[in-house]
Structure 1
Amino acid sequence: MGLTATKVQLLFVVLAVAGLVATVWVWPRLSSRTWPSVAGRVGVLALNQILILVALALVTNAYFGFYGSWGDLFGTDDSTAPILPLGAGAVVGQPGLVRVIGSRPVLVPKAKEGRSGGRLEQVVISGPQSRLSTPAYVYLPPQYFEKKFATTRFPAIVALTGYPGDARNLITRLNFPGLVAKSILAKQINPTVLVLMRPTIAPPRDTECVDVPGGPQVETFLAKDVPHAMAGAFRVGTDAGSWGVIGGSTGGYCALKLSMRHPDAFSAAVSLSGYFHALTDVTTGDLFGGSRQLRDENDLMWRLAHLPAPPVSVLVTSSKRGESDYRTTEQFLKAVKTPMQAASLILPSGGHNFATWNRELPEALPWLAQQLHAPAQPQTRLTAAQRPRPRSSAASLASSARHRRGSGRRTRPRP
């Protein structure tokens, strides 16, 4: 059974409860001062602690999605996916880099009868430059399948989890497809494609989306291979103006960095409780091969202070109470200079968790989609009725955010 299987969680919860009941029954029989009785009491207490800790760890892991499998947990999952042709539907770029392994409809609650929410494709994306591959999900809006949009290309957003993360959490815990489908049906945003994935491309190592010298080239995979592979398999735009990136925690840092270091690939980014420089610990190892220059280039505050500002738009989120990165987020915003544009969504309170991000996404995700332009359409254009309703960035954030400039870093909580 899988690490996150409900049966596994229930089994250890039942064992933990049974251990406590057994302890009540056996404890009087171990009350003497003999060595066997003392050893028995120590053993019973140790067994109870182990069962309780394992049960808590399994439930917590399933809730936050730290590890998706036993191989992921123990670092033995080194499997890769072959590069297989997708078949019909390639538009531009190199075909055969995305393999579709499953598909299902996206349902939108309270949608009018006959109104589709689009489809969610389970895929494996392979990168020719980085030689990496990863499982992911691709959300296709309902317009993607309509005859009048048969030659239309769509803007795209890459959504990233934290570390180690599980791409399914972007669906089950944060409902990215449902939020985008609802916004499209409400004409708040143009039809947009989503690429849902985790930044842990070389598990169990946390690469912080860095091209590690002599190691995994994760930045190349995310900034170059993913847009290239998507353009060869789906009708998405190929210019930076039609691509955005969003992420939470480690994914938030990656989102900002990818847009700032690769404005030729992404024109806008959202960081949900992200930080501003690559963290290093036992999970990352040496990310920079001893190079101070490479370390600085991956420090977003250093980039703002020493390099020309990139022509991108970013939104950063935090909370005045509950998030450790609030002050550094303010510093980041203050350091931003033109042509880079920055906005903030600051909650009065909220922790570093899915509950907080679920409060921010209904504002942050439409904001990101509104920064992107639809790729040039040679044959099909949206009618006036199909265009999204005007909605300024300031208005979309006014209820829960304030706009100002600022920067930062944070401690390492990682749901």
Structure 2
Amino acid sequence: MHRQPSASRAVLAAAAVLALAVPLAGCGGQGKAKTPAAPAAPSAKRPVPAAERKVQMPTGPAPSLTKVRDTAAGPVFMTRLAGPKSGVTGQVWVWLPPEYDDPKYATTGFPVLTLYAGGQSNGYNTWAGGQLPVQEEDARLVKEGKAHPFIMIMPVQNFTADEKNALDCSDIPGQPKMGTWMAQDIPDWVRASFRTLKGRDGWGVMGASTGAFCSAKLALQHPDVYKAAVPIDGYFAPDSLLWRGHAAEKAANSPDQLVTQGKADVRMLVTAGGADPYEKGVVKGWMAKAVPPVAIEYYEQPGGKHLTSDFKKMIPEALQWLTRNLAGPASD
């Protein structure tokens, strides 16, 4: 099944001029009323200047999306994206909120949430596969008025199952340029394919465990793309063996270093499981290094452990925090 989202733009016009009959005064007689002037033609609404527009309309061909799974909140699709800037080709899963295809929202742009999985994520993404039911939670919270309807983008992260030689969501010398694919090619494709919001105010990134590392790193490296990030129970130092011999490049891709530089105007919600002292120490130690304008909030999950079942419990809190910190759907 292929999905090609549609878009239309309604142009509103409303103006009317009423002519008043003016009596003619005559010497020794009654004046006669003039025939009312014809109404002026309606004038079109002033076009919104490009610089003031909130919505980024699709600029490219309609994407070819194959349905891979149904959820209670609508289908999850998949495509293979060949990145022109990175040279990387990989799987990307997509979920569009129910509002996206509602005619009432035909000219509305939606916020975008990119989601990264834990583990090596070779050929799968737990946010797309049902282990972490973020789509159902988002639809429920939207109905309750507690969350934005997000376009969700869920990329693959690696091309082998060897976690010791993972790509760390980075451009490791001599390896596929995953950092460029994730931070440039994927956002470019999303903007070209779907109705989104202009600028970075409607763009967030979230991940758990390894995905938390990726979300923190990408937001700190690319504050021009992402405004907010939620690293769930993460770590903050690159650990792939593929960095051997590339110490400078490794440091440039380390959230441990990036958070100290005072360059990224991004907001973050970082979490740790309350039952894991080591994890709490890692997260709190990293937070202590943060230099403004980075703004970090901390959430400790009561009794939480480093388990997918506990990551799942974090979804409602994370979606509501992202909603408070990102722009919502808008129309010009």
Q: What TM-score, normalized by structure 2, do the two folds share?
A: 0.76
Asked whether 1:99 is paired with 2:54, we answer: no
TM-superposed CA distance for 1:88, in Å, is 6.3
TM-superposed CA distance for 1:139, in Å, is 1.3
Change (3 A) 1:93 1:251: farther
TM-superposed CA distance for 1:128, in Å, is 1.3
TM-superposed CA distance for 1:238, in Å, is 4.2
Cα separation, 2, equivalents of 1:262 and 1:351: 30
Residue type at the aligned position of 2:177:
Q
TM-superposed CA distance for 1:219, in Å, is 0.6
Aligned counterpart for 1:268 among listed residues 228, 233, 236: 228
**Paired residue for 1:252?**
212
Q: Any gaps of 5 or more consecutive residues in structure 1? A: 1-84, 108-116, 379-415
Secondary structure (helix, strand or coil) at the match of 1:191 reads coil
Aligned counterpart for 2:256 among listed residues 297, 301, 307: 301
Asked whether 1:358 is paired with 2:323, we answer: no
Q: Which protein shows a greater Rg?
A: 2
Asked whether 1:232 is paired with 2:192, we answer: yes
Q: Which has the higher helix share?
A: 1
**Paired residue for 2:167?**
207
**What are the residue-to-residue correspondences of 1:14-413 with 2, within 5 Å?**
89=6, 91-95=57-61, 98-102=63-67, 106-107=71-72, 117-165=73-121, 166-168=124-126, 170-200=128-158, 205-280=165-240, 285-287=241-243, 290-305=245-260, 307-322=261-276, 324-374=278-328, 377-378=331-332
Aligned residues: 278
Q: What TM-score, normalized by structure 1, do the two folds share?
A: 0.62
Cα RMSD (Å): 2.4
User: Contact conserved, 1:161 with 1:249, CA < 8 A, in 2?
Assistant: yes
Cα separation, 2, equivalents of 1:124 and 1:211: 20
User: Contact conserved, 1:167 with 1:198, CA < 8 A, in 2?
Assistant: yes
Q: What are the Cα deviations for residues 113-154 of structure 1, in whole angstroms up to 9, with x where unaligned? A: xxxx34432333331111222223211112111112111110
User: Contact conserved, 1:102 with 1:123, CA < 8 A, in 2?
Assistant: no
Cα separation, 2, equivalents of 1:156 and 1:201: 25
Q: What are the Cα deviations for residues 231-262 of structure 1, in whole angstroms up to 9, with x where unaligned? A: 12221224211110000111100000000000
Secondary structure (helix, strand or coil) at the match of 1:264 reads coil
User: Contact conserved, 2:74 with 2:97, CA < 8 A, in 1?
Assistant: yes
Higher relative contact order (CA 8 A, sep 6+): 2
**Paired residue for 1:400?**
none
Change (3 A) 1:317 1:304: same
Cα separation, 1, equivalents of 2:238 and 2:160: 16
TM-superposed CA distance for 1:323, in Å, is 5.6
TM-superposed CA distance for 1:356, in Å, is 1.3
User: Contact conserved, 1:209 with 1:219, CA < 8 A, in 2?
Assistant: yes
Q: Give the 4+ runs in structure 1 shifted more than 3 A.
A: 85-96, 103-106, 168-171, 201-205
Q: Percent identity of the aligned residues? A: 26
TM-superposed CA distance for 1:351, in Å, is 2.0
Secondary structure (helix, strand or coil) at the match of 1:256 reads helix
